């Protein structure tokens, strides 16, 4: 029969042995009062001490702070949030060795007393009386638990009043709960040093194992720390901790909790400390910037107290494999200590789930979250919203826009002057692929800024951007999270899914208190989304983001701000959308990073490609779902003035191309044989000279290669003349 079983079966001390004033007062208080002020005075005094006690029936009376656990989507624990690092477990989850060790050194008569230890009180009183002060306490495990919970506000009161109140409540508690219940609550409450509250946290802090797995020697060491956590930490004072362990082992042996052989073996066991891996001061194991974002969401909704003390289980959307790939991609491209800050956000378009989030270069040195907190100018990556607005309003991708530089835009005050142009009139598609500033300035001036702002908000921009014409060039500030969310709308056929970082939350009782709904709204039609995507595909295949080519259907847009202070690439596939930002803080030009000037098509596009290739390596190469073309009804299409097509027949190829280009027409060159027109000169053109066309229309010219060498000789011309040639 075990020591614990024998103790439980022993008859409890006779009532006469326990001196109880009013049925419940403590022996120490009675002894002192009887000898000083007499029986009547003692009863009156103790009665006053026991007024205004907290109720043990209050459901919050014994509530202790528990750590909130944050899990990834693949059920990996990525953080503990706590004010007190505690993980509450059942008594079955705590090694019997630790249970016995605690009882042996903290309260050897735990299984026989009724909450307070009469023998201990008398012994402590005699010891303290002889010493002329408090040399020895007499608190039982139950009293210590009462002191740490319902009387926590009085824990620093060393008076007999507090002792009496403590003993009274301990007695009351043991009338309501079993010894096992009291011991379990105590072992989950007490402080074990190293920031660990409760047996489970302590076992992880000292041995990186669960409390149920402790050996005899390990249990004795953990139990020994309780006496003085600040001075007996085995990390700071291994000699003192082991010495205390040996004393605990002797008490366990003395009280028959361990055998002779177990005692001898435990005494010589080496100390092998092993702190739980990757745990930092904030309790974050992985993805610190993502955890910081989740923590803020939780605090905004539930407050600090519940988040850090409520024992919540928070299940997030983070894909740890993608997170590792995102961090690796950033480190691979930006691998120098002098490199700019960066951020990356990856979102699943069909759900809005945030799958990966990198908020900076180094959490240990800079905890500012560039992914969610840094509002920076997006540059030309914001042109996407102007493009989508134009398509929504009925402009076709072939719509002609004047791209000549500078664009002088009337504003009612000082004109807005925009440089960065192309060659005359170009199409909306060409303006987007080439990211032509002058063309987009004229485009937003024609449509107005208000509808562009509306489009941006509908698609996922939550910042308070204002309807200024310059917004089309990315002059107002947004976060990488917003941009990833907005671009994911295109990947989801025009339906915006709000970004979701938390999938569900379970409280300490196991009840689900939050479940994400994953409801989206149609920001733009599937037709407009598909049309925009087809244009943005060209940015990667032949535009400013060739470095973002990942060998599968993808679309996106680069962004670079004035003086190269910010650089972006925002892109997407049907399965994943991702934004990448880069810039210095404080802001300064990125003119010499790894020897080059940084713009969106350089390092941001490279990081994006590196991440997307890894993240989608095992995913099928899906193309975007097609949709009917939008109804192109923009009436101002025909406001562009027509021009006369120059007649270039007979000119040299170079001269003809020069004349047509000067007339703001595109040229396509073909070749043909002619026995009449000399080689290198134009035989014919389509449309013919003198006809009407619009700027940027294509004129096809056929240039002579001379006579066909395989043709029969020509018949003599009876007139002896040949058609005249023309010179430019």
For residue 411, the SS3 value is: coil
DSSP run (H or E) holding 300 = helix 288-309
Q: Rounding to the nearest 10 degrees, give the CA dihedral for residues 508, 351, 524, 359.
A: 80
Nearest to 46 by CA among 162, 130, 206, 220: 162
- CA distance to 78, 294, 347, 355, 620, per residue, from 318 (Å): 10, 10, 10, 5, 21
Bridge partners (DSSP) listed for residue 698: 666
Annotated catalytic, 327?
no
Distance CA(604)–CA(593), nearest Å, equals 12
For 346, other C-beta atoms within 10 Å of its C-beta total 27
For 698, other C-beta atoms within 10 Å of its C-beta total 12
Q: How is residue 652 annotated by DSSP?
A: B
CA angle 673/678/683 to nearest 5° reads 60
Distance CA(336)–CA(358), nearest Å, equals 17
* Cβ(481)–Cβ(345) below 8 Å: yes
Catalytic pick among 106, 166, 194, 327? 106
State the angle between helix axes of 383-392 and 450-459 in degrees (0 to 180), rounded to the nearest 10: 100
Six-digit token pair at 127?
């010891």
Catalytic pick among 72, 139, 203, 380? 380
For residue 518, the SS3 value is: coil
For residue 681, the SS3 value is: strand
**What number of H helices and E strands is found in the chain?**
22, 23
Annotated catalytic, 403?
no
DSSP run (H or E) holding 35 = helix 27-36
DSSP run (H or E) holding 85 = strand 85-86
Q: How is residue 539 annotated by DSSP?
A: H
* Cβ(582)–Cβ(598) below 8 Å: yes
DSSP run (H or E) holding 407 = strand 407-409
Distance CA(500)–CA(502), nearest Å, equals 6
* Cβ(45)–Cβ(158) below 8 Å: no
- CA distance to 22, 198, 272, 320, 574, per residue, from 537 (Å): 86, 56, 58, 29, 12
Nearest to 695 by CA among 418, 434, 403: 403
- CA distance to 99, 220, 271, per residue, from 244 (Å): 17, 8, 13
For residue 396, the SS3 value is: coil
Which residues have a Cβ under 8 Å from the Cβ of 185 and sit 6 or more positions away?
A: 62, 145, 177
User: Torsion-angle region of residue 412: left (phi > 0), alpha (psi -120 to 50) or beta?
Assistant: left
* Cβ(570)–Cβ(483) below 8 Å: yes
Six-digit token pair at 63?
């509530």
For residue 512, the SS3 value is: strand
List active site positions.
Answer: 106, 380
């Amino acid at each position: 029969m075990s020591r614990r079983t024998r103790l439980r079966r022993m008859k409890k001390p006779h009532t006469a042995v326990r001196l109880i004033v009013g049925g419940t007062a403590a022996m120490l208080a009675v002894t002192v009062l009887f000898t000083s002020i007499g029986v009547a005075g003692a009863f009156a005094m103790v009665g006053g001490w026991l007024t205004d006690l907290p109720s043990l029936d209050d459901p919050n009376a014994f509530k202790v702070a528990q750590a909130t656990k944050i899990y990834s989507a693949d059920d990996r624990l990525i953080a503990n949030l706590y004010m007190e690092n505690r993980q509450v477990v059942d008594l079955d989850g705590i090694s019997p060795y630790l249970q016995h060790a605690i009882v042996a050194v903290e309260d050897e008569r735990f299984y026989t007393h009724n909450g307070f230890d009469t023998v201990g009180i008398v012994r402590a009183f005699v010891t303290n009386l002889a010493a002329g002060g408090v040399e020895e306490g007499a608190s039982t495990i139950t009293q210590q638990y009462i002191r740490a919970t319902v009387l926590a506000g009085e824990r620093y009161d060393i008076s007999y009043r507090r002792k009496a109140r403590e003993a009274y409540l301990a007695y009351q508690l043991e009338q309501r709960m079993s010894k096992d219940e009291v011991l379990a609550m105590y072992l989950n409450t007490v402080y074990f040093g190293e920031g660990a509250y409760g047996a489970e946290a302590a076992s992880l802090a000292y041995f990186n194992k669960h409390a149920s797995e402790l050996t005899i020697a390990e249990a004795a060491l953990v139990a020994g720390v309780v006496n003085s956590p600040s001075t007996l930490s085995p990390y700071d004072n291994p000699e003192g901790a082991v010495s205390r362990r040996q004393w605990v082992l002797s008490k366990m042996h003395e009280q028959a909790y361990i055998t002779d052989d177990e005692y001898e073996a435990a005494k010589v066991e080496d100390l092998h400390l092993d702190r739980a891996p990757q745990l930092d001061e904030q309790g974050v194991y992985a993805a610190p910037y993502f955890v910081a974002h989740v923590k803020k969401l939780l605090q905004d909704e539930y407050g600090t107290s519940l988040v850090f003390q409520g024992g919540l289980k928070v299940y997030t959307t983070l894909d740890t494999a993608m997170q590792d790939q995102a961090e690796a991609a950033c480190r691979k491209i930006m691998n120098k200590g002098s490199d700019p800050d960066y951020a990356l956000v990856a979102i699943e378009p069909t759900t809005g789930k945030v799958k990966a989030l990198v908020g900076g270069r180094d959490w240990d040195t800079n905890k500012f979250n560039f992914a969610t907190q840094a509002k920076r100018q997006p540059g030309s990556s914001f042109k996407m919203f102007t493009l989508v607005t134009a398509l929504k309003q009925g402009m076709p991708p072939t719509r002609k826009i004047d791209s000549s530089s500078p664009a002088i835009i009337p504003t009612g005050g000082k004109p807005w002057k925009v440089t960065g142009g192309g060659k005359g009139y170009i199409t909306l598609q060409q303006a987007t692929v080439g990211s032509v500033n002058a063309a987009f300035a004229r485009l937003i001036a024609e449509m107005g800024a208000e509808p562009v702002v509306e489009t941006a908000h509908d698609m996922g921009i939550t910042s308070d951007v204002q309807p200024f014409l310059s917004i089309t060039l990315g002059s107002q500030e947004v976060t990488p999270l917003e941009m990833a969310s907005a671009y994911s709308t295109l990947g989801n056929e025009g339906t915006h899914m709000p970004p979701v970082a938390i999938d569900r939350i379970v409280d300490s009782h196991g009840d689900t208190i939050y479940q994400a709904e994953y409801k989206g709204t149609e920001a733009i039609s599937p037709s407009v989304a598909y049309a925009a995507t087809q244009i943005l595909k060209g940015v990667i295949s032949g535009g400013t983001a060739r470095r973002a080519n990942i060998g599968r259907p993808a679309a996106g847009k680069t962004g670079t701000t004035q003086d190269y202070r910010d650089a972006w690439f925002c892109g997407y596939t049907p399965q994943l959308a991702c934004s990448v930002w880069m810039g210095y803080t404080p802001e300064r030009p990125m003119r010499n990073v790894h020897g080059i000037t940084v713009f969106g098509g350089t390092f941001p596009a490279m990081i994006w490609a590196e991440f997307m290739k890894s993240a989608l390596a095992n995913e099928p190469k899906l193309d975007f779902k097609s949709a009917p073309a939008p109804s192109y009804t923009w009436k101002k299409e025909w406001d562009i003035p027509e021009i006369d097509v120059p007649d270039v027949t007979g000119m040299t190829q170079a001269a003809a191309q020069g004349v047509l280009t000067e007339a703001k027409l595109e040229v396509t060159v073909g070749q043909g044989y002619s026995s009449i027109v000399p080689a290198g000169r134009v035989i014919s053109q389509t449309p013919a000279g003198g006809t009407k066309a619009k700027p940027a229309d294509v004129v096809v010219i056929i240039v002579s290669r001379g006579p066909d060498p395989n043709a029969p000789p020509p018949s003599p011309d009876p007139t002896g003349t040949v058609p005249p040639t023309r010179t430019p």
